[in-house]
A and B are shown apart, each in its own frame.
Chain A
Amino acid sequence: MRRDVFQAIADPTRRAIIGLLALQAMTPNAIAENFDSTRQAISKHIKILNECQLIEQKQNGREIYYHFNPQKMKEVDLWMEQFRKLWETRFEQLDNLLENLKPKKS
């Protein structure tokens, strides 16, 4: 199944995990302690985030630590930003036109 960043951030738990990892790298257990969900559920979210490259795992001794990958998050910003720009340009053009179309006030 194809995964992308948009799918990753669609879920509130996954957004919360990103928020935690943005502050510091954490082990899967430490991440799970922050949630009421089961470890399996959290581990599934971690797997999706990892597949989308929003987080990366690094081995440190016997433990696996997850790190946030800010570069990947920028993709989301950039994409949405361009979509926004398209519409803003369009709407500004309409604003200018509406000035001329408006019934004149007496």
Chain B
Amino acid sequence: MATTAIMGYRVERRSTRSPLAWALALILAGACALLVCAGLFIAAGADPWQAFAALLKGGLGSKRAIAETMVKATPLILTGLACTIAFRARLWNIGAEGQVFAGAMFAYWCQSTLGDAPAPIQIAAVIVGALIGGALLGGLAGILKARFQVDEVISTVMLNYIIVYALSLLLQNGPWTEAGSFFEQTAMVPDAAQLPILLAKTRLHLGFLFALIVAAFVHVMLLRSSLGYEIRAAGSNLRALEFQGVKITRLIIVVMAISGAVAGLAGAFEVYGVQHRLKSGTLGGLGYTGIIIAILGQLRPMGVVAAALVFGVLLNGATLMQIKSGVPSALIYAVEAIILMFFLIAWAASEFRLRRLHHVG
């Protein structure tokens, strides 16, 4: 019971959250986030209205802009789902960041060993490789937690750093280095391996559709399957599950591996749908943004898709915003974090209510 009394009113924590309070808190949080952003625009010497307008126009202004927003949202849907799966089991997989790299790398390895196979086989190799690569890295963190009691937050963060160095090792004077290139990158992948474009004259690729299918799959998996049942139970009370003889160590490893596999897809889709080559640097940040997406999506797959699309608008619009108003597009990373913080505060605050005291005492 909170007992802070102000002017005859008292702030109390309640056991249930009223939808009205939640909606109100959400609107307030959104307004606060907008205000802070406006402040940041002004600090950068830009006109907030102009900057916001450019941001929205860049993200939603045309058919092409919308398609590009969907391109930007694709990896975020997947990393958001990856985090959702793990977070639902209260496993704090912060490693989507590294699992994105692992998926891209393993996919590249699988696909590049195929040589001149027909397109469907190449793309299948990319997808399977991405799943395996992400699952390996995620599963490794799962093993570290289940067998060695290493906190998964720290192990996944460490693995994020390690995998980036590993990629750099392979790209710099390594087996994957593009001949004659100064940059740390591979050669372009063959056309047959590139993900088909869904909408002509845009970059919208098959990956977007695939991400939506994965979201639907995760939704059903969480709500209806036995594994989903165990994931949700683990998130609420791991011990009760253990008392029923469910093998917790196995569950942890499986969940981390599945979470990693989904994140791995994001990396491979970026490489084979957008970049068309593997290079260090361009995959960074997808996993960390996925954490935000998962939480904003309330750990629900459909919420994740919605949040990822909103963030797609921001990321996509940021370029136009920088051109039109001079506000650095790096703003978006700050804005993402600010939105997350206000969202968390709104979520917590809607648990409280003001109650008038019957008797001041």
Tell whether A and B belong to one assembly. no
Q: Using a CB–CB distance below 8 Å, which chain A residues touch chain B?
A: none
